């Protein structure tokens, strides 16, 4: 089984982030607080409660380089938390947003660029930014928004950032310059992620589509993959050729690229519930469809109905956050998901033999 650990923390989790050594987890239990738990002798103990925000904390990230936590909230504020002794001390980051902040991410080099990011985002976006992802080169930033577009910006600052290797354009782009705008989705776009090399970008739309973009630059190559199931909320590249998508189906979905670079859905990662939507069990859905089609439950085909939940499904509500976990070996195999059921599930791809070729 791919899910190696399931931890029920609270009723509902908005977002989560791991400490650099993965011994502690910070998450928002669907309120204005950030809870930090530590795994002590196989039990999770609540160590700290960070209370500074006035409204829902919608994004958390824990820097791998500086051990600082950044949190953003619907109250339009962002705090950077520094651990001083036993306490976590907040520093307010002025974002100057006139709407809620929904997402945040530390850059690979650990720069505290929340403020700058907010400046960039404010300029070009006309509606909520739902997802943010830094390119491994620490210069490009991708965002997804409720206007359905995915944009890539340069955050190159002369004198501060250094160009390590060849890049797409010959001249240095200005800070905040929009490199690319992708208008592939007609509905809200969520969850954007760069592949480990930075060559490919993936993001999802609320219309049950997932988009893969290669050659991000003047002439990008986009692939639109229609998802058979309910929409996804977040994506994660586990390797150059494998992406995990999570969302309303409560079960991580594996997408992979074949040798020619064509992406497609491979399978669900966890145990599969037959009727896979909605917050509670499949019986509600089957009953609703039964009434719609004017037939008894027994009469419906087994494609759409499974009255009882299959035991063993890891999440039983929408998964809204997926994070990479530090790996023991060279290949990425482990990641964690958190969802509206208040659970954090750790997944390991080690035993998934059919997926080995994509790692």
C-alpha to C-alpha distance for 40 and 194, rounded to whole angstroms: 33
Beta-strand pair 33-40/43-51: antiparallel
The Cα angle at residue 306 between residues 301 and 309, in degrees rounded to 5: 175
> 288: which 2 tokens?
């609703």
State which residue, 111 or 248, has the beta carbon closest to other proteins: 248
Task: State the minimum distance, in angstroms, from the CB of residue 130 to other proteins.
Answer: 15
96, 162, 226, 260: residue in contact with other proteins (rule CB under 8 A): 226
Q: Any contact of residue 228 with other proteins (CB under 8 A)?
A: yes
Which of 59, 90, 231, 339 touches other proteins (CB under 8 A)?
231
Stretch touching other proteins by CB under 8 A, among 83-91, 129-137, 287-295, 318-326: 287-295
Which segment (100-108, 289-297, 318-326, 328-336) binds other proteins by CB under 8 A? Answer: 289-297
Q: Does 160 bind other proteins (CB under 8 A)?
A: no
Site for other proteins in 293-332 (CB under 8 A): 293-294, 301, 303-304
Outline where the chain has alpha helix (H): 114-124, 282-293
How far CA 211 is from CA of 7, 8, 243, in Å, comes to 31, 32, 11
Only one residue has tokens 């039964």, namely: 290
Size of the site for other proteins (CB under 8 A): 22
CB-nearer residue toward other proteins: 209 or 349: 209
Residue 333's SS3 state is: coil
Of 29-37, 54-62, 110-118, 226-234, which segment contacts other proteins by CB under 8 A? 226-234
Q: How far is the CB of 259 from other proteins (least distance, A)?
A: 23
Q: Does 289 bind other proteins (CB under 8 A)?
A: yes
Least distance in Å: CB of 207 to other proteins? 4
206 binds other proteins (CB under 8 A): yes
By CB under 8 A, is residue 205 in contact with other proteins?
A: yes
Q: Shortest distance, CB of residue 185 to other proteins, whole angstroms?
A: 8
Up-side HSE of residue 326: CA atoms within 13 Å toward CB? 12
CB 72 within 8 A of CB 117: no
Q: Closest separation between CB of residue 236 and other proteins, Å?
A: 20
Of 175 and 265, the one with the shorter C-beta distance to other proteins is 265
Contact residue for other proteins among 229, 281, 307, 316 (CB under 8 A): 229
Contacts 24+ apart (CB under 8 A), 135-141: 135/194, 135/198, 136/108, 136/194, 136/196, 136/197, 136/198, 137/108, 137/164, 137/167, 137/198, 138/107, 138/108, 138/109, 138/111, 139/163, 139/167, 140/179, 140/194, 140/198, 140/216, 141/117
d(CA 159, CA 48): 39
| Strand 334-339 versus strand 343-348 pairing type | antiparallel
Please state the closest distance from residue 188 (CB atom) to other proteins, in A: 8
186 makes contact with other proteins (CB under 8 A): yes
Considering the complex, what minimum distance in angstroms separates the CB of residue 6 from other proteins? 25
Nearest residue (CB) to other proteins, 41 versus 301? 301
Among residues 69, 97, 182, 209, the one that binds other proteins under rule CB under 8 A: 209
264: Cβ contacts below 8 Å, ≥ 6 apart: 225, 255, 256, 258
| CB closer to other proteins, 29 vs 290 | 290
- What residue ranges bind other proteins (CB under 8 A)? 186-187, 205-209, 226-231, 276-277, 289, 292-294, 301, 303-304
């Amino acid at each position: 089984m791919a899910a190696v650990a399931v931890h029920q923390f609270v009723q509902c989790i908005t977002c989560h982030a791991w400490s650099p050594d993965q011994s502690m987890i910070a998450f928002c239990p669907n309120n204005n607080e950030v809870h930090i738990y530590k795994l002590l002798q196989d039990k999770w103990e609540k160590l700290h409660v960070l209370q500074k925000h006035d409204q829902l904390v919608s994004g958390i990230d824990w820097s791998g380089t500086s051990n600082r936590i950044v949190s953003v909230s619907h109250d339009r504020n962002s705090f950077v938390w520094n651990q001083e002794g036993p306490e976590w001390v907040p520093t307010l980051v002025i974002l100057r947003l006139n709407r809620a902040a929904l997402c945040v991410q530390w850059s690979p080099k650990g720069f505290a660029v929340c403020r700058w990011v907010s400046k960039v985002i404010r300029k070009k976006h006309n509606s909520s930014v739902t997802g943010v992802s830094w390119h491994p080169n620490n210069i490009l930033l991708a965002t997804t928004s409720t206007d359905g577009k995915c944009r890539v910006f340069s955050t190159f600052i002369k004198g501060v950032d250094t160009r390590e290797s060849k890049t797409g354009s010959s001249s240095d782009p200005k800070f905040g310059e929009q490199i690319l705008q992708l208008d592939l989705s007609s509905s809200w776009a969520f969850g954007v992620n760069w592949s480990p090399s930075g060559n490919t970008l993936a993001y999802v739309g609320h219309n049950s589509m997932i988009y893969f973009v290669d050659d991000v630059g003047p002439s990008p190559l986009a692939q639109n993959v229609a998802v058979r199931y309910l929409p996804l909320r977040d994506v994660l590249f586990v390797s150059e050729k494998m992406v995990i998508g999570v969302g309303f189906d409560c079960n991580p979905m594996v997408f992979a690229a074949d040798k020619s670079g064509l992406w497609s859905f491979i399978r669900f990662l966890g145990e599969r519930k037959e009727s896979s939507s909605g917050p509670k069990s499949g019986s509600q859905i089957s009953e609703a469809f039964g009434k719609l089609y004017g037939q008894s439950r027994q009469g419906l085909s087994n494609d759409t109905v499974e009255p009882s939940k299959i035991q063993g499904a890891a999440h039983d509500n929408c998964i809204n956050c997926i994070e990479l976990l530090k790996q023991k070996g060279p290949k990425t195999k482990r990641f964690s998901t958190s969802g509206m059921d208040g659970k954090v599930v750790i997944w390991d791809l080690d035993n998934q033999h059919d997926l080995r070729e994509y790692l």
